[in-house]
Structure 1
Amino acid sequence: MKVPKPLVILKETILAGESKTLNMEIAKLHTMTKLKIPVIIERSKLEGPTILFTACLHGDEINGTEIVRQLIIQDINKPKRGTIICIPIVNIFGFINKTREFPDGRDLNRVFPGSKTGSLASRFAFNLVTEILPHVDYAIDFHAGGASRFNAPQVRIVPDNLELKQLSDVFNAPFTLFSRNIAGSFRNSCDRLGVKMLLFEGGKSLDLDNEITHEAVEGTKRVLSHFDMLNHELLSGSNVSSTYYIEKSNWLRAKYSGMFHGLVKIGSFVKKGEFLATISDPYGKVEHNVKAPHAGYLINVNDAPFVYEGDAIYHISDNPKPKT
């Protein structure tokens, strides 16, 4: 039996069969307090791929952190073969302050691959790209909707990538969206370095949702089982419905400002003209109906109690294609 080579990350050596938690230290708070980002590494004695699980690139998307935490407490991150790296909180600054951005006001997910001498967010991105990604074969990055918008559980992949499509089929989230990489995003840097990434979206910021967490954990287990990395006692026997492929979707925006009363459940299929919500004034004099502009699945809904004219309130798929 061939023994896997030692893994050297952040100047620390992790041997086959070892478990280690490393601390990625990039900067200090203005109080001079050090902030350490735990990098949790589990290695099998058997050769296999290295998979990275990350969450909380946006500091207020805490449901992703809960997903990775569940992978750890259920021992799902202890591989039968290969290596699993977990970073439950990437943007520790935002997590502490319950904000999306870094302290320098930048969106971490728009500054990759970063720079050694750039802004605080850029320096952090640079360290993640240079210290962690060179060792990774596959990654799943867990996100949630922002600004009170709730995402149905979904995986996002680039179009025309057969391996990623096959991997998303294995994950089998309720929805699979084809979306191109955004310049400066973590996903784009992974793609450029040959790391195959699935981006999971589910739930909303500053919120924990058990159904979203369950979908993500079960999908992750299916991916690990696909690579023969999941211990058999952790296999799930639950039946899942087929994913729906979404190549195009549209935002429905509020035509009026007022109190928002959503009436249709996230993930539902709606018909053209179906009654979705009302927007009313607070005085009981005016109430506007919101109807679906076309048929499709609701893959994102606004959970805010009030909206302004022009706010995005529903993200509706266009011509979803069932899995074949």
Structure 2
Amino acid sequence: MAKHKDITILGQTILPGESKTINMEIARLHTMTKLKVPIIVERAKIDGPVVLFSAGLHGDEINGVEIVRQIIVRKINKPKKGTIICMPVINVFGFVNKTREFPDGRDLNRVFPGSKNGSLASRFAFHLLDEVIPNVDYCIDFHAGGASRFNAAQIRIVPNNTELKELSDIFNAPFTLYSKNIAGSFRNACGRLGVKMLLFEGGKSLDINNDITQEGVRGAKRFLAHFNMLNPKKQAKEAPAPSIYIERSGWVRAKYSGMFQAHCSAGKFVEKGEVIAHITDPFGKFEHKVKAPNTGYIINANDGPIVYQGDAIFHITQKH
């Protein structure tokens, strides 16, 4: 690994032993209000890897923001060696509006590597890759489920990558899901630039769940401890069990529209044929049982009270 003698972001150099918050400002609101994206850099005197903890790529995925906030406020981001960069809210526009997208209607996680002269989201992606990522060795990007769907705490990595598998073992989330990179995603762009990324999914949009938060924080501490970077005043706890690796999974979809009452939460193990939910109408005419199509773990569960026919309601692991 190359020595990081010089870390420069947006023209500001962070020297060994320095702490610095650099504000990235790409565009203002239409009211002329400035919107700054803080990049919080903590550098130890001893050289070592550079780790980025990022969240809020989708502005409504607040649980990830809370995980990175706790990493900062608990001083987990003050490394024993190397450098820790925290970006709790990447899509500050969406965060202000509590929406997933940028003001231009684009999903930031589909426009990488972006363009210097493109749409607002595209410009932001370009500057993130151009200014921050060249300094980074490892990244953990924190996300949450969308559309009222609650994700069990999980790491997502591409299949057939032994180094990412080892890093996932170190983070040791309850589940690890093999999923291919999506074109235009931050994960795909980082991979192309040689940055090793773990994508964390947990909880749901517009929500903060303490159990999910603690899973994210504990995993981050284990990750830092592996590289001998963890703040000496902090301790990393071993996970209670090894991560469950998932190669195959499938969605259960609603066969009826109606009021939805789930009986199983994300993370639960269910048996084939087990009743996992009911769909009812508001007038007492029918009550439909939803049964597990196979034995496996529920890794995503719909928390919405209303569903339409065809809506995804549970994501269940399948055997190879």
**TM-score class normalised by the smaller sequence:** over 0.9
Runs of 4+ in 1 over 3 A off after TM superposition: 236-239
Structure 2 residue 189 is matched with structure 1 residue 168: no
Contact 1:279 1:288 in 2 (8 A): yes
Equivalent residue of 1:215, what SS? helix
Provide closer, same or farther for how the CA distance between residues 188 and 275 of structure 1 changes in structure 2, counting only shifts above 3 A: same
**Structure 1 vs Structure 2 CA RMSD:** 1.1
Q: 1: distance between equivalents of 2:237 and 2:315?
A: 32
For 2:82, give the aligned amino acid.
Answer: G
Contact 1:4 1:45 in 2 (8 A): no
Contact 1:4 1:16 in 2 (8 A): no
Contact 2:225 2:236 in 1 (8 A): no
Paired position in structure 2 for 1:234: 234
Q: 1: distance between equivalents of 2:247 and 2:233?
A: 36
Contact 1:271 1:295 in 2 (8 A): yes
Q: 2: distance between equivalents of 1:102 and 1:72?
A: 25
Contact 1:280 1:288 in 2 (8 A): yes
Paired position in structure 2 for 1:252: 252
Paired position in structure 1 for 2:47: 47
Q: Encode CA deviations 1:183-202: one digit per residue, 9 max, x unaligned.
A: 00000000000000000000
Provide closer, same or farther for how the CA distance between residues 104 and 92 of structure 1 changes in structure 2, counting only shifts above 3 A: same
For 1:92, give the aligned amino acid.
Answer: V
Q: 1: distance between equivalents of 2:232 and 2:41?
A: 20
Structure 2 residue 200 is matched with structure 1 residue 220: no
Moved more, 237-246 or 205-214: 237-246
Q: Encode CA deviations 1:292-324: one digit per residue, 9 max, x unaligned.
A: 11111000000000100000000001127xxxx
Structure 1 unmatched runs, 5+: none
Paired position in structure 2 for 1:10: 10
Q: 2: distance between equivalents of 1:284 and 1:79?
A: 59
Deviation for aligned residue 1:239? 4.8
Q: 2: distance between equivalents of 1:300 and 1:238?
A: 24
Contact 1:277 1:290 in 2 (8 A): yes
Where do residues 287-306 of structure 1 align in structure 2 (5 Å cutoff)? 287-306=287-306
Deviation for aligned residue 1:266? 1.4
Equivalent residue of 2:24, what SS? strand
Paired position in structure 2 for 1:37: 37
For 1:177, give the aligned amino acid.
Answer: L
Provide closer, same or farther for how the CA distance between residues 167 and 239 of structure 1 changes in structure 2, counting only shifts above 3 A: closer
Equivalent residue of 2:259, what SS? strand
Contact 1:94 1:103 in 2 (8 A): yes
Q: Encode CA deviations 1:207-227: one digit per residue, 9 max, x unaligned.
A: 000000000000000000000
Q: 1: distance between equivalents of 2:293 and 2:202?
A: 24
Structure 2 residue 285 is matched with structure 1 residue 285: yes
Q: 1: distance between equivalents of 2:43 and 2:275?
A: 52
Query: What's the TM-score, normalizing by structure 1?
Result: 0.96
Q: 2: distance between equivalents of 1:68 and 1:289?
A: 39
Deviation for aligned residue 1:133? 0.4
Deviation for aligned residue 1:232? 3.1
Structure 2 unmatched runs, 5+: none
Identity score, percent: 68
Provide closer, same or farther for how the CA distance between residues 7 and 175 of structure 1 changes in structure 2, counting only shifts above 3 A: same
Paired position in structure 1 for 2:129: 129
Provide closer, same or farther for how the CA distance between residues 36 and 157 of structure 1 changes in structure 2, counting only shifts above 3 A: same
Equivalent residue of 1:104, what SS? coil
Contact 1:4 1:46 in 2 (8 A): no
Deviation for aligned residue 1:206? 0.2
Paired position in structure 1 for 2:270: 270
Q: 2: distance between equivalents of 1:111 and 1:314?
A: 28
Q: 2: distance between equivalents of 1:21 and 1:231?
A: 19
Provide closer, same or farther for how the CA distance between residues 277 and 233 of structure 1 changes in structure 2, counting only shifts above 3 A: same
For 1:303, give the aligned amino acid.
Answer: D
For 2:277, give the aligned amino acid.
Answer: A
| Number of aligned residue pairs | 318
Where do residues 97-246 of structure 1 align in structure 2 (5 Å cutoff)? 97-237=97-237, 239-246=239-246
For 2:287, give the aligned amino acid.
Answer: E
Deviation for aligned residue 1:231? 2.3
Equivalent residue of 2:64, what SS? helix
For 1:150, give the aligned amino acid.
Answer: F
Contact 2:222 2:237 in 1 (8 A): no
Q: 1: distance between equivalents of 2:270 and 2:4?
A: 51
Deviation for aligned residue 1:273? 0.7
